Amino acid sequence: MHNKNSSLFLLTPFTALAFIFIALLAPLTTFAAETYDVALSMVKTLQLGNNLEPMSYRVATTTQTYLMIVQKAGTLTAQSLTKDELHRLQPKYQEQWNTNLARSYAEFFDSTEMQSITNEQKSSKYVGKFLSKQNDVGRSMQLKSTKLLTDFVSEAMLNVFTKVNGGK
């Protein structure tokens, strides 16, 4: 005979294990959050994410849309309109760019190292590691931010194209 209460009793050890598992993970989550917070502070303080706008411009100038704008408006106008539009839209994408960059740094550095780099910069004993990990951080950032960069450039180029062709 099956008793409804016995199935509740069977779940109790499972539930207990789940709570223990969650309790064991809590310090890791707190540590990861602290590392991310320090990484984000480092990115903002050292302005490491300031490459978004120039990088987006380099990408924009390789698009077919940009070439059509050049044909329609001329090189100088295309350059000017593209730079202006990227600059106008940049705040919309900057926070996510900084977040992705912070997450990338947090993969390779602990909070102590990043805090030291933030505070001491070139005097930090971790500056060598910081410089040697730039390619790794860059690859991580590329994986995290390709879509963001594509969206940013696509929106800007559509706006410039529309402007050059008599739209708003």
Residue whose tokens read 């505070």: 119
pLDDT band at 28, cuts 50/70/90? very low
Mapped onto helix, strand or coil, the DSSP state of residue 51 is coil
Domain count, the chain: 1
At 7 the pLDDT is 44
Whole-number average pLDDT of the chain: 86
Has residue 27 got a pLDDT over 60? no
This prediction's pTM: 0.78
- Cα(107)–Cα(136) distance, rounded to whole angstroms? 9
pLDDT digits (tens, 9 = 90+) for 30-46: 446 788 999 999 999 99
Q: Enter the tokens of residue 46.
A: 């050292």
Task: Residue 134: give the domain boundaries.
Answer: 4-164
pLDDT digits (tens, 9 = 90+) for 98-132: 999 999 999 999 999 999 999 999 999 999 999 99
